[in-house]
Amino acid sequence: MNSVILLTALSVGQPGGAVPPLMLPAGPAPGLAFQPTPMQPPAGMQPPAGMPPMGGMPMTGNGNGNGNGNGDEKEKDKEEKNDEPPPPEPYALMRLLSTTHFGGWLNDKGITIDGWVEGNYTASSAHRTNLPVTFNDRADFWQFNQNYLRIYKTVDPSKSEFQWGFRTDYILPGTDARFSIARGFLDKQLKPANPDGSLPNYYPIDIFQMYAEAFLPNLGPKGTTVKVGRFATHIGYELVQGAETPFMQRPYLFQYNPFTHTGVWATTQLNDTWTMSNGLALGADNFIGTTARLTYLGQLKWAPKESKTSALFNVMVTDPRYDNEDAFPFYNVYNLQVSHNFTDKLTYVVDGIFSHINGAPLPGGATGSATWYGAAQYLFYKHTDKVTSNFRVELFDDTKGFRTGFKGLYTEVTYAVSYAPVRSVIFRPSVRYDHNNTSRPFEGRPDLFTAAFDMILRY
């Protein structure tokens, strides 16, 4: 609690320098429609294949299995589980609650409550704002990004029995919520900018996820997990959750593609190598309301158990016409991710995305189709159990300037060190260079240099 108070005090106590208005989901302008990404968290609180957990190294193997075979397979699964290391000790909040009757009730019901606080200071070559770089958008400023709380009961697909679960994730509050809030849900907090360019509310709250889920053991070869509600997208490699993504400074691919969907999502493990997911949603980064359009969500995952390589192909497909009446973008996205573990210490990931929209208002007053696409390459090197180097190179082409407000090819290079002296504390200093080869998006300049220090306290 003291850490929450400290981070909040540091954030609120910053001098109120003028910052250009942010174009937020409550009323996006054509070129700055911040409708972002990262990902569908599989059951058991595991990140997607290849996703570095807790800011560390990427996962290996194919994640959770849906063991639903014959008796011999079940015994084999039991033997494999006996060889696994014991689960990590709960974080501070659950340890504290375990001494109470309420904590005992949570344990009996399989419910976990945990979270983290995250803040960063970003030194910048810009004077006021780093836009169109988001999340750490304020130059030379301390930001309290997330006070992230989650309450969840997971299902275990390896058990051949019906199970139910749920999950709710809250940003209470945090500057990141300005970008994750969905149209039609809590977006009244996002007020127009003041005359000096500052925002009335830099610290809104967001219920980032809220869904119920069930494991249906008899649906599909090894069972199917179905979730219904608002859930994080499956598209893209990085995540909104600050403690479970490798960089505080996010790539353009993440910032300008979906964050969440409202609908239904079903995941079926076909065998030990292939997993298929299908869903229907109302769009991207919107809730139930007038901005609703039937949207198909899909994922095909290839992850052999003994292989060092895994791959994901993700899609979001709808009628990709801009909604002029509600000023809301509906667009299609195609995403390929490949992860390879060269050694126990060195991992490579490539994440490529292509997105497009029709009938969109473009910078300069024109109307037409627009595309934005690119690829990010990652290298992760685990020096020790406490120190990891994270390196990313990204190319992102906003061909008409519809997403960032400035057309051109963005090149972005980021290096970060993740240091966890203890499991519940993560320090992540990073440096980043951005360049646009056509426009001058960074306060009238084509280049931006930033150096950030990020701190996360898990509870």
CATH number at residue 381: 2.40.160.10
Distance CA 116, CA 113 (A): 11
pLDDT at 83: 61
Which structural domain range is residue 6 located in?
2-458
Does the pTM surpass 0.85? The reply is no
Strand partners, 171: 148, 206
3-state secondary structure of 71: helix
pLDDT at 417: 98
pLDDT at 195: 83
Q: Is there a contact between 162 and 215 (Cβ–Cβ < 8 Å)? A: yes
Distance CA 58, CA 37 (A): 19
Helices and strands (DSSP H and E) totals, the chain = 6, 16
C-beta neighbour count of 92 within 10 angstroms:
13
For all residues of the chain together, what is the average pLDDT?
85
Q: Is there a contact between 164 and 212 (Cβ–Cβ < 8 Å)? A: yes
Confidence of residue 60 (pLDDT cuts 50, 70, 90): very low
Q: Is there a contact between 459 and 427 (Cβ–Cβ < 8 Å)? A: no
Residue 277: Cβ-neighbour burial (10 angstroms; 0-12, 13-18, 19+): buried
Tens of pLDDT, residue by residue over 70-86, are: 333 334 444 445 566 77
Confidence of residue 88 (pLDDT cuts 50, 70, 90): confident
Number of structural domains in the chain: 1
Omega of the bond leading into 132 within 30 degrees of 0 (cis)? yes
CA 20 to chain centre: 25
Whether pLDDT at 30 is above 70? no
Amino acid at 20: P
Cα dihedral 243/230/51/319 (nearest 10): -130
Assigned token pair, 28: 């996006």
Handedness of CA 367, 321, 357, 23 (dihedral sign): positive
Backbone angles phi, psi at 192, to 5 degrees: -60, 155
Whether pLDDT at 452 is above 60? yes
Selection from 57, 50, 52 nearest residue 346 by Cα: 57
Distance CA 173, CA 125 (A): 28
Tens of pLDDT, residue by residue over 433-450, are: 999 999 999 999 999 999
Q: Is there a contact between 46 and 342 (Cβ–Cβ < 8 Å)? A: no
Assigned token pair, 103: 């904590």
